[in-house]
A and B are shown apart, each in its own frame.
Chain A
Amino acid sequence: MKIHHYLVLILACLLATASLADPKIPTSQRQQELMQLLLDDCGSCHGMTMNGGLGPPLQQSNLAGKPDEYIFVTIRNGTAGTPMPPWHQFLTDDEIYWMIDVLRKETWKKE
């Protein structure tokens, strides 16, 4: 085996590990920004305590039974015909999954 074959193999392994890893956790500074965005901007329709407003409540119990993928698509692309806007301009996919986790675990309550 030639040396560049080894290199390709190593590279392929590295890539495979990267894609299998958990979604990238935002930096602590970014986490703070995201938490603020959740409370202020999501909160402007869903309530600062996620008890709902013009938009539906987003408490742990409200999200139970709704798969991550459904919530992800709702946040990423918005919901046509409702005021829910798409957030993909402002949030990466990893950040959206991180926020779903925050909602599910209600870690925002500590803020």
Chain B
Amino acid sequence: MRCLSLICLLIISLSAHSAKLPGCSGREAIGDRGVIVERASGSVVIVNSTSQELLCRVEGLGDLSHASMVFSRDEQYAYIFGRDGGLSKVDVLNGRLENRIIQAGNAIGGAISQDGQIIAVSNYEPGGVRLFTADTLTALATIEAKTDAFPEGAKVVGLTDAPENQIIFSLYNAGEIWQASLDNPKKPEIKKYLNIGSLPYDALIAPDGRYYMAGLFGEDGIAKLDLWYPEKGVEKILGDYGKGDKKLPVYKMPHLEGWTFAGDLVFLPAIGHHEVLAIKTTNWELSSRIPLLGQPVFTMARPDARQIWVNFAFPNNKWLQVIDTKSASVIKKLEAGPGVMHMEFTPRGEHIWVSVRDENKVKIYDTRTFELLKVLNVESPSGIFFTARAHKIGL
């Protein structure tokens, strides 16, 4: 009798447990997939970074020159921001276009909120930021980047997510940084930092979400906002950097996405100079200037931060250089091919994928031996985005 009741109890508790859980479905894992932009044909290819092969192509995404994307936290969806104001939601698991809207006339980039619920898109025309639900791309709010000097709305650059469900962005022509809380996404609360410097052209957030830094085109220096101490406001660092030097014409704006903390140094591309800057994070002063063969566009840190891979603006865009962060010097020069557009490391950095636009190739290199491992045929490739970005602040 006692035994029977025990069995009954066991059955009850077991069924109670199984009733509570929805169960694990057997869908394919996609943590090692990626999406590569085919900039000239309005398509993307979905790749597997373990088998190093192309899986499928998704078409009909509009003007993808200068396109970027963010991923849903389950990695299944890529939200792709097109130059023509298109916002496309691509299913990376099933390789199909899920939804697509034209949300502005001319867009530049976007971000996904900390909770994964909101997609923010930054626009040039009309200037501002628009917010959408991540599931259905339903419009939630428009943040018009209007200032006294730019009543039509300033051009928005350097949009990124930030901790505590916020977004931060810079107003290019107005020289301001705006921080918006998305707690009420239909009515985002905005904090403005004025007079942060002349012509911020791009910005980034540190991997731990503490510092937001905007590169300035109109003057020397970088605008830095410490989100642990927002009351201190925006500080200008490296204001006297490059003073007296002749600034070179810039044939392609650097991208600040690749932000490299290595030990107590941080490395940034120098605008208008053939160099990368190493800055001490203890006092935010210049530690050294690392001379390069051209003007850097992306300075991408290997995930362990021992190496930084740099590509270059026209007319030096067939080269890559690799900086060793321990010695703060260049240790390798590679001729990847004409029109190197972007680079992406595998999640733990053993390989790097490089898009070579004018050769219609994506080249995979071993980051330890610099050996070329594999070449994939991709039409006019630009941005390469692996799904592991889904879990990183600022990407």
Contact = CB atoms under 8 A, between A and B. Distances in A.
Contacts of A18: none
Interface string B260-285: 00000000000000000000000000
Interface of B is mostly: loop
A40 B314 CA distance: 10
Interface stretch (A4-12, A21-29, A45-53): A45-53
Interface residues of A, number: 19
A83 B253 contact: yes
Interface of A: 36, 40-41, 43-45, 47-49, 51-54, 78, 81, 83, 85-86, 90
B108 A53 contact: yes
A90 B106 contact: no
Interface in B358-386: 358
A48 B39 contact: yes
Contacts of A48: 39-40, 63, 65-66, 83
Interface residues of B, number: 29
B172 to A, nearest CB: 7
A59 B199 CA distance: 24
Contact of A47 (B83, B251, B253): B83
Given A44-B253, A85-B251, A86-B249, 5 more contacts: A45-B253, A47-B66, A48-B40, A49-B84, A53-B124
Contacts, number: 60
A76 B30 CA distance: 49
A90 B317 CA distance: 14
B155 interface: yes
A49 B65 CA distance: 9
Main SS at interface, chain A: loop
B357 A40 contact: yes
A30 B376 CA distance: 28
B303 to A, nearest CB: 28
Contacts of A81: 218
Contact of A54 (B218, B249, B253, B357): B253
A85 B65 contact: no
B178 interface: no
A45 B199 CA distance: 14
A41 B63 contact: no
Nearest to A77: B249
A52 B84 CA distance: 10
4 residue pairs, one from A and one from B, having the closest CB atoms: A85-B249, A48-B65, A41-B314, A44-B252
B211 interface: no
A54 B124 contact: yes
B339 interface: yes
Contacts of B108: 53
